[in-house]
Amino acid sequence: MSSEDESTGGKRRPSVDWVAVKDKVISILAAVVRWVFLLFALLLVLHVVFTIADANQDNSIVSFVGKWADPLALGFKDMFQPNDAQLKILVNYGIAAIFWLIVSSLGATIIRRLGSLGK
């Protein structure tokens, strides 16, 4: 009997496939990054829809989305300055939503590629 068998009472400990564990963690991390940034884009699109549809700003859902949309718009918030306020929201927040869609895809891809280095 080996010393490993003696220390575990004669039972062999199962070996851990650390590569599979790493791959699973990378996969989960990439999915989380993707979904978080997709949620950002969704909030911006909802803000555009609520604004164009003249949704009630006193509604809790509309105000919640509007509160989150401003910081998520980043520097795109006032990129273009058309006279029509609805057009301004459509263009600027729409561009910000597209930005977050691109970031979600790139972020997930980069995480997966970094995770596959060394294979």
Please report which confidence band the pLDDT of residue 13 belongs to, taking 50, 70 and 90 as the band edges. confident
Q: What is the dihedral of CA 56, 62, 64, 70, to 10 degrees?
A: -100
Residue 104 has pLDDT above 70, yes or no: yes
DSSP string, 25-78: HHHHHHHHHHHHHHHHHHHHHHHHHHHHTT--TTSHHHHHHHHHHHHHTGGGTT
pLDDT: which is higher, 66 or 7? 66
Q: What is the pLDDT of residues 36-81, one digit of tens each?
A: 999 999 999 999 999 999 999 999 999 999 999 999 999 999 999 9
Whether pTM exceeds 0.85:
no
- What is the 8-class DSSP label of residue 77? T
